Each structure stands twice: as C-alpha cells, then as structure tokens.
Amino acid sequence: MNRIIKEKQQPKAEFFATVKLLSAIRTGFSTFWKKYKMFVGYGISCILAVIYLTIWPFDGVFFTISVVWALSFQRLRYAYVSITKKGVVTMWTIFCFGLSGILMQVLKVEEHYAVSAIAAGIIVTIFYSYISIISYYLKYNDKLYGWDCDRKTKYNGILLSLLIYSATLALAEFVDNQTKEKKEQQFLQQQFNKEMFVPVKIIETESFKGTTYYVLEAKGEKFFVSPFKYPEVRNIKENSEVKVILGDVDSEYRLKGVKKIQFKN
C-alpha cells in the first residue's frame, strides 16, 4: 500500500518541481531582461550591421538604400504609436540598417538590384508597421496603442514608408539599367574587336523626315548610316572598308541599322 501511495505521489512531486523550476527560470529571465534588454538589443543590432558590412563586398547602392531605410526609422518618435526613448529608436535604426542590408545581399539575383530592393523593402515596411507591437512585448516601449487621426491603432502607418521605398526602388532600377547598358556595351565591344575590315560601297542616299541617310552595302547586307552620327560616311571611296556590327531591321526605314561601325577611308 505504501508503495502505491509513493508511486502516486511521485508524478505529482515531479510536476510541482518542474513548475517551480520553470517559475524560477521565468523570474530569472525577467530580472535579466529588465536589467540588460538594451545591451541585448544593441548587441544584436550591431552584430547584424557587422555581418552585413563584412561578409559581402561593399556595394554602394545597397549601402545607400540601407542608410536611407535605417534613418527613416528615426520617425518612430513621431509615429502613431510613438517611441519616445532615443536610445530605443537608435537601436531600431541600427537594427534596420543591418537587417535591410543582409536581406538585399541574400535576395540579390545576379546584378539585378531592383529585385532584392523590392523584396527587402516589403519586409522592412511591414516590420516598421509592427515595430510598436514588438517594442511593447519586448519591454522597450510602454505604449501598445496610438492614434491614427481619430482611430485607435497599434500599427504604425506605411504611407511614408512606401514613398521612401518607392524612391529607393527608383534608384535601384536606375542602377539596374546602367549596369545592363554597361554590360551590353562591353559585350558589343568584345564582338566588335573580333570583326575584320571588309569592303563597303554607297548604294544611294535617302531623305527621311528631312534627314539624309546613306545606304551602304557590306558583308552582303544593306544598311543605313546617319552622316550626323558618323560623318566619316561622307568620305567613302572605292577602296574604303568598314568594320561593322549590324542591328535589327528598322520598322520605319525597312533597312538594318548599325550597332557599331568604324570606317577606313
């Protein structure tokens, strides 16, 4: 009988011991977090920033976008659910800088900045909207609700975030286009370097919309050249030669244009 009673009491004792242990852990963590939460927050934020700046090669576009997005978090002091403590706002600013930089680097597709900027921008915008809730439950801020005009809310607005996001996306798109154009020019130059000079002759001149164009023949193809863009075309002789890469057929002129040409008159 005593053994049966002991067996029944043992699970109950273990349960209360577990509850007591969990309670002690919770109390200890609560004390630790209350005392060191700012150190932990700044530590994680700085680690993210260091990871972003050291693991990947420096990229001016990503760095600029990260700085702009990070500085935009300074407006948390004036958000719907405001954070009045400057130290907390600065912590989230550093956190955003590291997070956005890492996201763009991880999500980068070849040389396309816009793709990673779109994905990272969406995440950062959502994060800004929910940061008041995160700050409240992590004890960085004591406000859970604020006011959006006359409506009570616990989320920060995203309108200004979207405007900032759109501006940085335009920058990324511009860089994308510049990078693409530079690559195309490099590839074109590589092709052009492989070309040989071949005989060329003038077939005729044509006027189109008040502009005169020379119709030439080389490499068994007819194509048009503008004398304003390539004035050397006016000096073609019987023994002239060209090194040329032809473009597509122009829908208006019904002749091929040129991507790159060099004359030897």
- Dump pLDDT digits (tens) for 113-160: 788 888 888 899 999 999 999 999 999 998 888 887 778 888 888 888
Residue 231 has which token pair? 């004035």
If you compute the radius of gyration of the chain from its CA atoms, what whole number of angstroms results?
33
pLDDT computed for residue 246 by the predictor: 83
- In this predicted structure, what is the pLDDT of residue 87? 94
Q: How confident is the model over 55-77, as a mean pLDDT? A: 90
pLDDT at 69: 92
Question: What CA–CA distance (Å, rounded) separates 219 from 197?
Answer: 10
- 111 contacts: CB under 8 Å, gap ≥ 6: 176, 179, 180, 183
In the predicted model, is pLDDT for residue 176 greater than 90?
Answer: no
pTM of the model: 0.66
Would you tell me the crossing angle of helices 2-55 and 86-106 to the nearest 10 degrees?
Answer: 80
25/58: higher pLDDT: 58
Report how far residue 151's alpha carbon sits from residue 172's, in angstroms, rounded to the nearest whole number: 36
pLDDT given for residue 45 in this prediction: 96
3-state secondary structure 174-218: HHHHHHHHHHHHHHHHHHHHHCCCEECEEEEEEEECCEEEEEEEE
Length of the chain: 265
| Strand (E) or helix (H) holding 37 | helix 2-55
Look at 29 and 44; give whichever has higher pLDDT: 44
Distance between CA 114 and CA 116 in Å, rounded?
Answer: 6
Q: 205 vs 85, which has greater pLDDT?
A: 85
Separation in Å, CA 251 to CA 27, 194, 229: 77, 28, 19
Report d(CA 171, CA 47) in Å as an integer. 27
Q: 173: exposed, middle or buried (C-beta count within 10 Å: 0-12, 13-18, 19+)?
A: middle
- What is the tens place of the pLDDT at every residue in 238-253? 888 888 888 887 777 7
Grouping H, G, I as helix, E, B as strand and the rest as coil, residue 35 is helix
Q: Is-contact 65 176, C-beta < 8 A?
A: no
> How many CA atoms within 13 Å lie on the side-chain side of 126?
7
The HSE-up count of residue 174 (CA atoms within 13 Å, CB side) is 8
